[in-house]
Amino acid sequence: MTAPQPLTLLELNSRISRLLATAPGINNVWIMAETSDVRRSGPHCYLELIDKDADTGTPRARARATIWGSVFPRLNDTFAAATGSPITSGIKVMVLASATFHPVYGLSLNITAINPEYTLGDLLRRRREMIARLRAEGILELNRQLAWPAVPSRIAVISAQGAAGYGDFINQLYTNPHRLRFTTRLFPAALQGRDTAPAIIDALTRIAESDEQFDCVVIIRGGGATTDLASFDDYSLAAHIALFPLPVIVGIGHERDITLLDYVANLRVKTPTAAAEWLIARGADALGRLRTLASDILDAATTRLSTAHRRLEYIAGQLPALAGAAITRNAIRIGPAADDTLTHAVAQVLRRRADRLDAIAAIIDALSPQATLRRGFSITRVDGHAITSPSQAPPGATITTTLASGILTSVSR
């Protein structure tokens, strides 16, 4: 019995290679798996595909895979545009692959296409699960329920230093047409890649150490590429934001991009500029309210003044007649000297009344920015109470009149 002719290993591997190339069902098939150890080498992308047990997470199957440089850039861009993340480790993918066998490197799956919808669906499902968990823990809505101060003006900013979005935000804020006062402090954090979530959590922790110095937190990232948004879909980061003691504004993408953070942040805006605009609008509202209050108070005080005016004019109109009658009545009894005294007294009363009107006008002028305060001022009091009618000053009562430069004391007759 002759020994069979042995093969070289190369011959064997070449046979396997040829068999695989023509075997049915293993070429150009769509397969579902999870990515791992994704790495770039030159234009090519090398990775592992794993099939994990849904319950235990232990691998049930594993294979090396390659996306050659001839297709990788286009495939990666399309994938990132659809899912918000480039092809990276730890995501579920559906790929079109062919099994190949290299005599030296062994089995490898050659990937030629990827279905972003599958990954997107998985990301959405995971996001929904995280939202459900945050809700079950009772923290989903906490940040959104925080009350804003009347005018949020002290702002802690989480952004990458020197990022275009940060510049837009600062520029918008500090050149606002109302000249509203804002103070900002940057807490730098790189907002892309797998370190995004820990970097933001770290920045939030630093802000929390002095949270009484701020009215709110703004997390912003420039526009541009929509890639990498998936790194914001992080449970721990979302929980930190939900539990943060200050309202958080998130402006990290464009309108159609949604991340988990949009569900927990107090306010979601499209862009950093929109975040600044919102804050400016709050300040402008407050200024408008002050303007309304100032004009309402001016109106009310003016009404009070004209009431006093009418009362005084009435008294002024009555006084000469009353005084004249008194003079006539008493002229015979007290002689000509009293004539002068009475006339003088009447003139004094009138002058005092006019001073008082001027005084009230002066106070009301203070509400009007154009007016000066130097128009004279007097208030007439009896027993420390301002009086509004002569009947409040019975004969013999001591009257004090407060003028701009002192107090006059006189006795009512």
Partner 1 sequence: MENQSFNDSLAELEKILAELRSDQCDVDTLAARTRRAVELLTFCRSRLTTTEQELRSILATLQNPSDQQ
> Which spans of this chain sit near partner 1 (rule: CB under 8 A)?
149-151, 153, 161, 170, 174, 178-181, 183, 185-186, 283, 286-287, 289-290, 293-294, 296-297, 300-301, 304-305, 308, 356, 359-360, 363-364, 366-367, 379-381, 385-386, 388
Of the pair 74, 179, the CB lying nearest partner 1 is at: 179
CB closer to partner 1, 158 vs 342: 158
Strand order in the sheet with 248-251: 183-188, 154-159, 216-220, 248-251, 267-268
CB 308 within 8 A of CB 357: yes
SS3 78: helix
| DSSP secondary structure code for residue 335 in this structure | -
From the CB of 388, what's the least distance to partner 1, in Å? 6
**Single-letter residue type at 54:** A
Cα(103)–Cα(105) distance, integer angstroms: 6
Residue number with CB closer to partner 1 (132 or 293): 293
d(CA 361, CA 375): 8
Round to whole Å and give the CA distance between 35 and 205: 32
Q: 89 or 210, CB closer to partner 1?
A: 210
The nearer residue to partner 1, 96 or 186, going by C-beta atoms, is 186
Minimum distance from CB of 117 to partner 1 (Å)? 43
CB of 149 to partner 1, least distance (A): 8
CA 254 to each of CA 227, 269, 341: distance values in angstroms, whole numbers, following the listed order? 11, 8, 86
Q: To the nearest whole angstrom, how small is the minimum distance from the Cβ of residue 331 to partner 1?
A: 35
Query: Is residue 28 within 8 Å of residue 98, measured between CB atoms?
Result: yes
Which residue's CB is nearer to partner 1, number 180 or number 265? 180
Q: What is the smallest separation between the CB atom of 164 and partner 1, expressed in angstroms?
A: 15
Q: How far is the CB of 190 from partner 1 (least distance, A)?
A: 16
Whether the CA torsion 264, 270, 275, 280 is positive or negative: it is: negative
- SS3 of 107-124: the string is EEEEEEEECHHHHHHHHH
Residue with smaller CB distance to partner 1, 190 or 327 = 190
In the complex, least distance from residue 329 CB atom to partner 1, rounded to whole angstroms: 32
SS3 382: strand
Contact between 93 and 87 under an 8 Å Cβ cutoff? The reply is: yes
The number of residues in the chain equals 413
